[in-house]
Structure formats: C-alpha cells, structure tokens
Amino acid sequence: MTYKILLVPFVLFLALLTTQAAVSRIYRPRSEDRFIFSLYLGLPFLVLSISIAYNFWGLLTPCEAFLASLLYFGLGSSWIASYPAIYAACPTLIISMIVSKTKKPVDINYLSSVLNLNKNSTDRIDDAVLNGLIIKKEGKVELRSFGLMTLHLFKTYRRWLGLQTDTI
C-alpha cells in the first residue's frame, strides 16, 4: 500500500474544506445542502470519472484509486452528516452553551424551558448526559470537560466557516 492512497483523499478533503470556508465567508449559497453535497461528493465524483478516463494520469493504479476514493467518500460523507449539527444550533450544543456560560450548575427545568422542546428537552438532556457532555446531579446539570472540549470544537468550526459562534 502506498502513501498516495492516504495522501490524495486527505489533501482533496482539506482543499474542499478550505474552499467551503472561503465560499461561506464571501456569500451564503441559496441551498447550503445542495452546495455541500455538490462540493464534497459531486465534484470528487466528476474528478474520479475524468481520472478513470485518463487512466489516473499515471499517479495511481486503478486499485489504489479505488481505495483512495473509498477513503475520500467516507471522509466527505461523514462531513456532510455532521455539518447540520455544526451549522444549526442543535439542542445539545445549546445545552452545552447555556451550561458553559454559567459558572454554577443549571436547573434542568430552566434548561427545558429555554429549549422549549417539551418532552424532547428532557430526552436531549439525557442524551447529553449519556454522551458524557454534562453531569446531572440533584436536578441540575454541569458541563464536563468533554462537553467543554466539544463546545470549543463546534465554535471553532463555526468561526472558521464564518458563522456566528454564539447562537443563544
């Protein structure tokens, strides 16, 4: 196995991620979903098709190209699947933001009223507890270190894409 199988997909993915950030900072596409899908799956599929027609320009054997494209499409698909959570203010992110802004534990009833998701609010809080983002004690919640790290990661992505970092 050669380094090209790993290098080509990661370089392509990083190039497209940089392109997305640049385009997102200049203007917002009308259909963000269509833009993301086209950029990460449509464009690489076109490049792969042209590469096959030109026998991969002598860079990769057909087997290497197949393995590299599998890795790339896995990366691209995982980014497409996680992008809505980064782009939109998902309830788990909002919970983490509220809890991080207060230096003391936050009442679960207060969180439920802020989220305004009715029964789903408590389900989202329970999901955040199960995922290790927050700790629930005596009707109050606190942010764990993993939750704080995840919150900072989401804020960094949002800042890099030119989105607001404070959605509340």
| Ranges of each domain in the chain | 3-87, 91-160
> Which residue numbers in the chain have pLDDT < 50?
none
Predicted TM-score of the model (pTM): 0.65
Residue-wise pLDDT tens digits, 105-131: 888 888 777 777 666 667 778 888 888
Tokens 């899908």 locate to 37
- C-beta separation of 105 from 117 below 8 A: no
The CATH fold assigned to 91-160 is Arc Repressor Mutant, subunit A (1.10.10)
**Edge-to-edge strand list for the sheet holding 140-143:** 106-107, 140-143, 134-137
How many residues comprise the chain?
Answer: 168
Tokens 């955040």 locate to 128
Note the pLDDT of residue 57. Answer: 61
